[in-house]
Chain A
């Protein structure tokens, strides 16, 4: 091992690494193992049975449906916002950057309540919605709205620093060579940001499927209708159906693991790409 000015003594090193691993094991690895071991307590058969109930399947379908709407929406929003922020100067830019972070700083429960206050029976638009027989709160549209709100920083947060660093030289070069705006976006900008975009989408998706707080407020917990997977886990758990609860939870945990692996692969590719710049 080469010595340099920032290398600590052996004892310090062992202590720091040990502490980090201990924390990791206790707070991250142990719960993960617990989820899977609880789910598989009675064997693989009961686990599959637990997932195969109509309510669980409905929850899975709903979760996928919500993600399928909110992730593409936020991908488009994230791209548009990052593009606007990094390529143009306009009044209110600083405010927009701050607003993008809002869902991160607000408690998810508050985020859910906002929509209840807006669209609930006694909400701002409640009367109008009832008149037109539109249901948002305690229905799927409400869950979609809450999820979109909660997940909208992910893509933009990934893209803005990268696009700022890359500047607009490439775009100007493309335009000076006769490319249209669309051609420039498609052939120059998008390839430049594709890994960061994928990464953002991945994180966005993980959160969209896993969100509990905000969704819980607007969902109404109607079994087979407005229950997403995280909500379903809670219901089963409260009913002492531990195998069922942990079976669905293990699916969510699996999603987390897949996301982590995909993220690592992307980071590796991203680094490869970033390293190849200049």
Chain B
């Protein structure tokens, strides 16, 4: 089990993390999700031992590793831009962790080659061992970086924005592949991402961070369905936020019911097809606040200038302090 206790970190006068607590179970796949500047990468690097915290401790199976350097923590780290050694072949890259071992831990050349081949097979890059990183595609480089990190048989795998530098199609394929690999290997893994879709799709649990604090920890379903703070509600998934006398009402574009007795009316400004629904954009009548609604394409496409009455059937209300005052309202209730 990996435990993080009260981690604080400053860069100069800039506070990067304010007291982070987190427990990670063996074999879990954890996403650290947040916008840039939320401290997610700093937290990952502190867990790795690439950065050191100002306060608090990092425990691996109850043992305080706070003062251990990265190599002594036996973690595999995959860098955002892969950090492959460009003057080494793919096989040399993968075997690097073995080739730098000294004394009793030394590995024979043949064993290193065999291990590199085995890992390249695992990441489906068999036969590419003699190439140089520059000769590979982005997705292939990513997998080399992963194989290289796995070569040292880490207890924990850490990935910094693993798909950040890839184009959309490759990203999707690689995402599915990484999820399968994680299932097959069962290695405790933590990855950093600013892409909520990625976090929700891959992770067993998502840790949502903002401004150096953890906003919420939960399964992807909990995070999406029951965001606890205005930030999570807004950051994860699409959310309409409208001000009302009881606080800020948050609801998803699809969590609405249409009806003439609806509590809100929107003046349609723009309509387009968004996959299986009509996405309607417009301003609320009365307050003039911007909202987005999803309407079944079985219904006729709404016209511009039309007024649509609706009622959010699943909404959250947050008061000025960010506390949630109400979770759900049902049809017929007035806000």
Contact = CB atoms under 8 A, between A and B. Distances in A.
Contact of B81 (A169, A177, A276): A169
A170 B83 contact: yes
A174 B151 CA distance: 13
A9 interface: no
Interface string B83-113: 1111100000000110011000000000000
A273 B85 CA distance: 12
Interface residues of A, number: 20
A176 B77 contact: yes
Interface string B238-267: 000000000000000000000000000000
B96 A176 contact: no
Contact of A179 (B50, B87, B100): B100
Interface in B43-92: 48-50, 69-71, 75-77, 79, 81, 83-87
A132 interface: no
B152 interface: yes
B71 A169 contact: no
Contacts of A45: none
Contacts of A3: none
Interface string B120-151: 00000000000010100000000000001101
Nearest to A276: B134
Nearest to A183: B100
A277 interface: yes
A177 B87 contact: no
A45 B85 CA distance: 54
Of B50, B87, B148, B149, most buried by chain A (CB within 10 Å of CB) is B87
A169 B45 CA distance: 12
B144 to A, nearest CB: 11
Contacts of B70: 172, 175-176
Contacts of B77: 172-173, 176
Contact of B71 (A175, A273, A276): A175
Given A172-B79, A178-B71, A178-B152, A277 B50 contact: no
A88 to B, nearest CB: 14
Interface in A177-194: 177-180, 183, 187-188, 191-192
Given A176-B48, A179-B96, A169 B83 contact: yes
A6 B11 CA distance: 44
Given A169-B79, A172-B50, A175-B71, A188 B134 contact: no
Nearest to B160: A169
Interface of B: 48-50, 69-71, 75-77, 79, 81, 83-87, 96-97, 100-101, 132, 134, 148-149, 151-152
29 contacts: A169-B79, A170-B85, A172-B77, A172-B79, A172-B83, A173-B77, A173-B83, A173-B85, A174-B85, A174-B96, A175-B69, A175-B70, A175-B71, A176-B50, A176-B75, A176-B77, A176-B149, A177-B71, A177-B149, A177-B152, A178-B97, A178-B101, A180-B100, A187-B85, A187-B96, A187-B100, A191-B87, A273-B86, A276-B86
